[in-house]
Copies of this chain bind each other. A is one copy, B any other.
Amino acid sequence: MTDLAESILNADRRALARAITLVESTRADHREAAQALLAELAGHGRQALRIGLSGTPGVGKSTFIESFGLMLADAGLKIAVLAVDPSSARTGGSILGDKTRMERLSRHANAFIRPSPSQSHLGGVARRTREAVALCEAAGFDVVLIETVGVGQSETVVAELSDIFVLLLAPAGGDELQGVKRGIMEAADLIVVNKADGELKSTATRTCADYAGALRLLRARPQDAPGFPKAMTASALHEAGLGAVWDEIRALANWRREKGHWNERRAAQARHWFAEEVKQALLAVLDTPEARARMAALAESVARGTLAPGAAARQMVSTLAGGSAALDAPRESA
């Protein structure tokens, strides 16, 4: 076993940080080393509770993670916070910033916060985050909180990476109501309406009841314990309701462990990521400037209706097989 692997298993934070930097790298030799490290660490048997957390800007997500994380860390649990943000390449900044966003939590001995690196390709983001989660589990964390800013398909990625998915909402009604992005509500195991304090308290209660009603209209999944998915209120600012949130998360996690859903879901997620990686490797031929240019030209003919999607696909595949013709004009219908 290498020193790095051993240090991680011994919960060495610096080694963990170095290993995450390794899995984040796209350099071929780093990828080799990362794969070898992950293979060494496979089968250590440690499992963290992976909590996915989504919420749009303005819901008080940083405050929630700080208060919630401190509560767990103070209780002696080791908590790691990771972020999925495919947009960070675009905005140029990490959503976890320079950790100043969660200053108290980042200084806690039981907490480990990893800012989101800049990388725009969602496939890369998914792989990197999945591997970082595996490293945190090897390092013996009890809870890994995976945060998503909710851009593009990032919630889908986080839902496929987590054991429990929590959706954080802000109190709102009437005209202020922005509504939830499609695809998020249905992934939620728990909806937490934050900012249930002061003037917003009654609005938060109403918002919570609205979403509880909406959740009842979704068909129950096998992994839904009785009463789940559930909506509740909390105030991260006043540190109120956070214990109840943790109780619900633990109750659901325990129920899933007892009923076998926990292991089933982990196995299904692993299979999913394996199949995804195979697909991405096979589709990598599309990831060259020539292939992208050819795809774009054909897509334009298809969008104009002068070329059928099937015929365009044939042209693309024959281009790839011939390894040429990026500059050919699309052959539209006669």
Chain A: residues with CB nearer than 8 A to chain B? 35, 38-40, 42-43, 127, 130-131, 134, 177-183, 185-186, 210-211, 213-214, 216-221, 266-268, 270-271, 273-279, 281-283, 285-286, 295, 298-299, 302-314, 316-317, 320, 332-334
Contact = CB atoms under 8 A, between A and B. Distances in A.
Contacts of A310: 35, 38, 127, 131, 277
Contact of A307 (B42, B177, B183, B276): B42
A71 B270 CA distance: 50
A35 B37 CA distance: 49
Given A131-B310, A219-B178, A333-B39, A317 B278 contact: yes
Contacts of A268: 303
Nearest to A273: B309
For the complex of A and B, 5 pairs with smallest distance between CB atoms: A277-B313, A179-B219, A267-B303, A182-B186, A214-B214
A180 B84 CA distance: 29
B43 A306 contact: yes
Contacts of A221: 182
Per assembly, the copies of the chain total 2
B303 A271 contact: yes
Contact of A217 (B40, B179, B282): B179
B282 A283 contact: yes
Contacts of A271: 299, 302-303
A54 B130 CA distance: 35
B286 A282 contact: yes
Given A274-B298, A279-B283, A302-B271, A40 B313 contact: no
B216 A213 contact: no
B218 A211 contact: no
B219 A182 contact: yes
Given A180-B217, A282-B320, 11 more contacts: A35-B310, A42-B307, A42-B332, A177-B217, A179-B219, A210-B213, A210-B217, A213-B214, A274-B302, A277-B309, A282-B286
Contacts of A218: 179-180, 182, 185
A126 B279 CA distance: 19
A134 B308 contact: yes
A28 to B, nearest CB: 12
A179 B308 contact: no
15 contacts: A38-B308, A39-B307, A130-B309, A131-B310, A181-B219, A182-B218, A182-B221, A210-B213, A267-B303, A267-B304, A270-B303, A273-B309, A274-B299, A281-B316, A282-B282
